[in-house]
């Protein structure tokens, strides 16, 4: 069995219990203990497991001890309770910092607790800027503004005049939808329709048909895997031949698995690691990105955006803890960090806790089943 398949089998058996992982074969060099909150079971488990593989890979390189709690993702109120309970347990375990959660849907109670406990939290997902007001909260993924501006600019550049947006009714998506609509308005394309669907949903033909009926030039689907892959497959299945756009949650091998041949030609907001062979050597993070991607793909399989966000979160914490493991000192160090990561270039400050640079994002497409830079 390959390393990738073996790890997937192990992770599927974790369930909802606590997991402590001492990364690396040797004793942890500096005793740094990092808490992790991610979806290892539940509807979002495949996404969370892939994200955890990036976290684990970076921890192995840095010899960091991970203390893991399963947030059982899916988006309901129960998930919020589980995430909050897991965060409280991690604080009780005495972790120096926390990486989590798998998505913005379970982040709220963790943000509040991290702020109250004075423990740095790095969120390894794309999210809305307003979600990071807390003194101890940081982000290793892009902001929603960055993702949506990149998407809106590409829609305008490629001549799309109208779009239809398909997204869930989750309250977490309300602010994201507002930001996307604003960015589209500034870039030029008009919003012909917004179609909301209620989760859980595994058949997207009805919302897709409603969006197509508005006769847009492009469809934008906002959702997590496996939903985004299913949506691509069903959009092509009903005969939609126009452009299909997806956010960074689709920049994963899980999307390719779900969409199959329908993935060809889609446009997804990602970063250079997804198509590392095309990356220019002039990138400031080129060496770090190439080294990580090669090692990851040899042992765990194809890379994904959220695995990179998770890896960068661990590396950022390890870097900030070089002079000690006091959480307040780690927070101060993070606020003064400039780092070349797997995802891109980071520059944090006391007033800017979402440090990924705008030019770290690129528009990807799928050609012959593989990620490539979009024309």
Do 369 and 262 share a domain, yes or no?
A: yes
Predicted confidence at residue 108, as pLDDT, reads: 87
Give the CATH number of the domain where residue 169 resides.
3.40.50.2300
Predicted confidence at residue 16, as pLDDT, reads: 37
Distance between CA 292 and CA 109 in Å, rounded?
A: 32
Domain count, the chain: 2
Tell whether 365 is covered by a domain: yes
Do 190 and 260 share a domain, yes or no?
A: yes
Count the Cβ atoms, other than its own, within 10 Å of residue 94: 12
Do 99 and 227 share a domain, yes or no?
A: no
Predicted confidence at residue 175, as pLDDT, reads: 84
Predicted confidence at residue 183, as pLDDT, reads: 92
Distance between CA 193 and CA 184 in Å, rounded?
A: 13
Edge-to-edge strand list for the sheet holding 162-168? 190-197, 162-168, 218-221, 243-246, 267-271, 361-367, 370-373
Do 189 and 43 share a domain, yes or no?
A: no
Tell whether 320 is covered by a domain: yes
Range of the domain at 88: 3-143+286-359
Do 348 and 367 share a domain, yes or no?
A: no
Do 305 and 233 share a domain, yes or no?
A: no
Do 164 and 206 share a domain, yes or no?
A: yes
Please count the CA atoms within 13 angstroms of the CA of 186 that sit on its side-chain side: 13
Predicted confidence at residue 19, as pLDDT, reads: 54
Q: At what angle do helices 205-212 and 227-237 cross, to 10 degrees?
A: 60
Do 354 and 366 share a domain, yes or no?
A: no
Do 101 and 217 share a domain, yes or no?
A: no
CB 242 within 8 A of CB 160: no
Tell whether 335 is covered by a domain: yes
Q: Which two tokens stand for residue 149?
A: 């501006």
Do 235 and 351 share a domain, yes or no?
A: no
Predicted confidence at residue 238, as pLDDT, reads: 97
Tell whether 211 is covered by a domain: yes
**What DSSP character marks residue 26?**
S
Tell whether 281 is covered by a domain: no
Do 244 and 291 share a domain, yes or no?
A: no
| Helix segments in 238-326, DSSP class H | 253-259, 286-299, 305-320
Distance between CA 182 and CA 169 in Å, rounded?
A: 19
Tell whether 194 is covered by a domain: yes
Tell whether 350 is covered by a domain: yes
Do 48 and 137 share a domain, yes or no?
A: yes
Q: Please list the pLDDT of the chain residue by residue as tens digits (375 residues).
A: 333 333 333 333 333 344 555 443 333 336 899 999 999 998 889 999 999 999 999 999 999 999 999 998 765 445 788 999 999 999 999 999 999 999 888 888 999 999 999 999 999 999 876 544 568 999 999 999 999 999 999 999 999 999 999 999 887 788 889 989 999 999 999 999 999 998 888 899 999 999 999 999 999 999 888 899 999 999 999 999 999 999 999 999 999 999 999 999 999 999 999 999 999 999 999 999 999 999 999 999 999 999 999 999 999 999 999 999 999 999 999 999 999 999 999 999 998 999 999 999 999 999 999 999 999
**What DSSP character marks residue 74?**
S
């Amino acid at each position: 069995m390959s390393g990738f398949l073996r790890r997937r089998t192990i992770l599927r058996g974790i369930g909802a219990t606590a997991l402590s992982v001492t990364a690396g074969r040797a004793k942890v060099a500096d005793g740094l203990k990092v808490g992790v909150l991610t979806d290892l079971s539940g509807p979002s488990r495949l996404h969370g497991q892939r994200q955890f593989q990036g976290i684990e890979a970076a921890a192995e390189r840095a010899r960091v001890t991970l203390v893991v709690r399963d947030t059982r993702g899916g988006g309901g109120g129960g998930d919020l309770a589980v995430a909050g309970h897991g965060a409280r347990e991690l604080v009780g375990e005495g972790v120096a910092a926390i990486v989590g959660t798998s998505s913005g849907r379970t982040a709220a109670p963790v943000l509040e607790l991290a702020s109250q406990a004075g423990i740095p939290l790095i969120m390894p997902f794309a999210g809305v800027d307003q979600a990071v007001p807390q003194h101890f909260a940081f982000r290793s993924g892009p902001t929603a503004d960055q993702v949506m501006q990149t998407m809106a600019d590409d829609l305008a550049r490629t001549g799309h005049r109208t779009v239809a947006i398909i997204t869930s009714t989750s309250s977490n998506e309300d602010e994201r939808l507002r930001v996307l609509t604003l960015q589209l308005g500034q870039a030029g394309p008009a919003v012909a329709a917004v179609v909301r669907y209620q989760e859980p949903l595994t058949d997207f033909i009805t919302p897709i048909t409603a969006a197509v009926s508005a006769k847009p030039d492009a469809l934008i689907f906002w959702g997590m895997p496996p939903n985004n892959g299913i949506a691509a497959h069903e959009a092509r299945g009903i005969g939609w031949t126009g452009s299909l756009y997806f956010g960074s949650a689709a920049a994963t091998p899980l999307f390719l698995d779900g969409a199959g041949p329908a993935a060809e030609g889609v446009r997804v907001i990602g970063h250079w690691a997804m198509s590392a062979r095309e990356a220019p050597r002039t990138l400031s993070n080129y060496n770090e990105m190439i080294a990580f991607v090669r090692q990851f793909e040899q042992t765990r399989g194809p890379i994904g955006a959220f695995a990179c966000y998770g890896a960068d979160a661990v590396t950022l914490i390890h870097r900030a803890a070089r002079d000690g493991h006091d959480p307040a000192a780690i927070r101060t160090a993070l606020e003064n960090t400039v780092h070349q990561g797997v995802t891109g270039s980071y520059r944090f400050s006391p007033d800017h806790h979402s440090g990924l640079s705008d030019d770290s994002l690129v528009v990807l497409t799928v050609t012959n089943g593989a990620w490539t830079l979009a024309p």
